[in-house]
Amino acid sequence: MSRIVYVNGTYVPEEEAHISVFDRGFLFADGVYEVTSVLDGKLIDFDGHAVRLERSLGELDMAQPVTKDALLEIHRELVRRNDLTEGMIYLQVTRGADADRDFAFPDPDKVPSTLVLFTQAKAISKSAAAEIGLKVISIDDIRWGRRDIKTVQLLYPSMGKMMAKAAGKDDAWMIEDGQVTEGTSNNAYIVKDGTIITRHLGNEILHGITRKAVLKFAREAQMKVEERAFTIDEAKAADEAFITSASTFVMPVVEIDDVSVGAGTPGPVAQRLREIYLAESMAAAQ
């Protein structure tokens, strides 16, 4: 059975979904996106994703294509139509299709934005990778300076994943001015002497929705949290490391650049945070 996807107001089988060749998402990566996880058929932290989407659109002077309530309904309808119990919903908004290829933004009153959503089934809560932990390499962070905006310019993160694959590893952590920014598609953390350390918010990283929730749960559980930059050497000498994202939740990292982190197995802090995150977000799911 083919997937039912949402394109500009209609629900259609994926083979019947079409976007113009002039769409600015295709020509200029002029678009933003969100990935919301689904557990037990319910949306995890929909509000957080909706707020961040609004912010990304605002930073790029792009109009909101539909209201937040309409967006919630589209997410729920896609879950229903595709019988999705666990996985993600991908959402993309682009500045639409102008009459020609033109670097200047089109008049938003004449060119409506494009809105696309589709489901992706994935086992996130019970993950074999979470039992083993990930191996990462470090690479230079050469992305643009507004990583706080969730744009679809994902070529370098994609290349980073391929560099990791070529090295026989799972992912890459990116380094700028000697300090870790984030993973290719996730936020990065280390644990040292019981303190959870993750880079502070700014333009250099995406403000992860999972990050926000995990730090809140950690503080509520009386764990110590420091939001500051850390070096890759500090990470290699840490007791634990992990990542967070909507598509992995809390995922342990056990090796960085061929160096085992701590015991080289998923650490207790990451494992506990994963459990807390799953329980708390299931309880609050919409």
Helix or strand holding residue 223 (H, E): none
In terms of CB distance, is 142 or 263 closer to ligand PDD?
142
State the catalytic residue, choosing from 135, 150, 169, 192: 150
> Which among 37, 68, 66, 29 is positioned nearest to 150, based on CA atoms?
29
Taking contact as CB under 6 A, which single stretch among the options 130-138, 181-189, 234-242, 258-266 is the one that binds ligand PDD?
181-189
- The CA–CA distances, whole Å, from 275 to 104, 106, 130, 280 equal 47, 47, 11, 9
Residues 6+ apart with CB under 8 A from 12: 4, 5
Residue 246 touches ligand PDD, criterion: CB under 6 A: yes
Q: How far apart, in Å, are the Cα atoms of 153 and each of 22, 134, 143, 257, 277?
A: 17, 24, 9, 26, 29
Q: Select from 13-21, 179-187, 232-240, 268-276 the region that touches ligand PDD (CB under 6 A).
A: 179-187
Shortest spacing between CB 52 and ligand PDD, in angstroms: 7
CB 43 within 8 A of CB 77: no
- Report d(CA 207, CA 120) in Å as an integer: 22
Smallest separation, CB 185 to ligand PDD (Å): 4
For ligand PDD, the binding residue among 180, 211, 229, 277 (CB under 6 A) is 211
Give strand pairing partners of 167.
Answer: none
Separation between Cα atoms, residue 191 and residue 194, nearest integer Å: 6
In the bound state with ligand PDD, the residue whose beta carbon lies nearer, of 263 and 282, is 282
Q: Which is nearer to ligand PDD, 87 or 106 (CB)?
A: 87
Which parts of 31-50 interact with ligand PDD (CB under 6 A)? 35
Taking CB under 6 A as the criterion, the residue among 114, 245, 271, 281 binding ligand PDD is 245
Q: How far apart are CA 173 and CA 183, in angstroms?
A: 4
The answer to whether residue 274 forms part of the interface with ligand PDD (CB under 6 A) is: no
Considering CB under 6 A, how many residues would be counted as binding ligand PDD? Answer: 14
Per CB under 6 A, residues contacting ligand PDD are 35, 182, 185-187, 206, 208-211, 244-247
Query: Active-site residue numbers?
Result: 150
